[in-house]
Chain A
Amino acid sequence: MISIQNVRKSFGDLEVLKGISLDVNKGEVLSIIGGSGSGKSTLLYCINAIETIQSGKIIVDDIDVHNPSTNQDKLRQKLGMVFQQWNSFPHLTVLENAALAPRIVKGLSKDEALSIAEKELIHVGLGDKFDMYPTKMSGGQQQRLAIARALAMKPDYMLFDEITSALDPELVGEVLDTLRMLREDGMTMICVTHEIAFARDVSDNVAFFNQGVIEEMGTPDQVINNPQKETTRKFLSKVLS
């Protein structure tokens, strides 16, 4: 379980997270929605310790993420992350992209790493692209590669930061379908997304972020279909129009 307890985070004088608390249980999907600059990405970065926090606590399976004695490289193996920019490794083939971390981080043999990579690539529908270089692929394919690359580390959680925002509209569907499939697999996920319909379909919970606070949180039915706050309604009507 991921437990976020009253987390505050500032960049210089700018407080970006102003006391965020939320829990994500094993097998659950949480979607985070909210306007630009509301702190959604920052929260994900704090969860896998890419960013530090000023106060509060983030617990991942009994690991206190920001405790100085925590091995954060080790922790990140539990937390797969996919970004808006797919960041494929351009010097490696698709298969090597997915096999690199299992081999060097987990120390698996080359054959083991390749076989895990193959399995995950087939899973996301890239079974016929092993020997291709990622720069020759579409954004949607590269984003699915990024997902497979993260899954090859066998993470317990997946963090997605607006992974469809940089895609051409016609490529969004294939990536969202991959996320739906992960949901079926029982993966625990936090998805920062602007795809409201997607959030409504796949999430157990939805959190609406506004200027560093959680304005509203609950089931998709509560937050998206029947928002209680004026700010939530305003945001939804803007993104849904």
Chain B
Amino acid sequence: MGSFFTPLSWNDSGFILTGVMNTITISLVAIIAGTLLGLVVGFIRSEANKAANTALGAVLDILRSVPLIIQLILFTTYIGAMGHPLDPFVAGSIVLSLYTMAFMAEVFRGGFDSVHGSMITAARSLGMTYWQAVRYVQFPISLRAIFPSWLGVALSVIKDSALVSVIGYMELLRTSEQLISRTQQPLEILIGVGVFYFIISYPLSLYGKYVERKMAV
């Protein structure tokens, strides 16, 4: 009596690798887009007046508070209902990037605010224009200071990217779910997936701690 299930084999490695690459791709897209958008929004938050800040802050609060999985489903359903169904990768990238941006914006804002006005005044008193003071003084000082928090957000994005599987993107988790239903070997597969996330995240988080310690002295 032949089994309906076929065990995991080396033939599956290409499939798994696609999942790995897709996880890495969507994470990188979200981290890069989220960082760039977060930098701009964080800078606006740090410079803008109170009214603009309250409005912007509310949007960011929503993005940060509504669970990512709900945002993903809402966005794809809504876009689909409007008659423009998006490729899961595109839809996932948009939602994950905006979600990342919301966290990055607060990280950057904190960094920019930590450079005192008197430091900028000192730079301006040397004849620097506003943008020179921003570029050569405020940015480099704050970007160094926030690096550990930036890395923390980036790492959680890699892990959160697993949720994009719910809208059908073939990242690592969805790949493994399909393998599990075919092979009925959930333990081996899920441990393997866990090890992958650990191998990516742990060295980076160690590096973040190292940088943090180095900056403290």
Residues of A within 8 A of B (CB): 48, 50, 73-74, 76-77, 79-81, 83, 85, 87, 89-91, 100-101, 104-106, 146, 149-150, 153
Pairwise interchain contact A91-B141, C-beta atoms closer than 8 A = yes
Overall SS of chain A's interface = mixed
Overall SS of chain B's interface = helix
CA separation between A146 and B121, bound complex, in Å? 13
A105 and B121 contact, Cβ closer than 8 Å, known pairs A91-B140, A91-B144: no
Pairwise interchain contact B127-A105, C-beta atoms closer than 8 A = yes
Q: Does B125 contact A (CB under 8 A)?
A: yes
Determine the chain A residues whose CB is within 8 A of the CB of B116 once the complex forms.
87
A105 and B118 contact, Cβ closer than 8 Å, known pairs A73-B127, A150-B126, A153-B126: no
Pairwise interchain contact A48-B125, C-beta atoms closer than 8 A = yes
The B148-174 residues at the A interface (CB cut-off 8 A) are none
1/0 per residue, CB under 8 A from A, across B131-142: the answer is 010001100110
Q: Does B122 contact A (CB under 8 A)?
A: yes
Report the 10 A-B pairs with minimum CB-CB distance, sorted nearest first.
A87-B122, A101-B126, A77-B127, A81-B125, A105-B127, A76-B127, A91-B140, A87-B119, A73-B129, A91-B141
- Can you report 20 residue pairs joining A to B where beta carbons are below 8 Å apart? A48-B125, A73-B128, A74-B127, A76-B127, A80-B126, A83-B118, A83-B125, A87-B119, A87-B121, A89-B119, A89-B123, A100-B126, A101-B127, A104-B128, A104-B136, A105-B126, A146-B122, A149-B126, A150-B125, A153-B127
CB distance from A3 to the nearest CB of B (A): 20
CA separation between A153 and B123, bound complex, in Å? 12
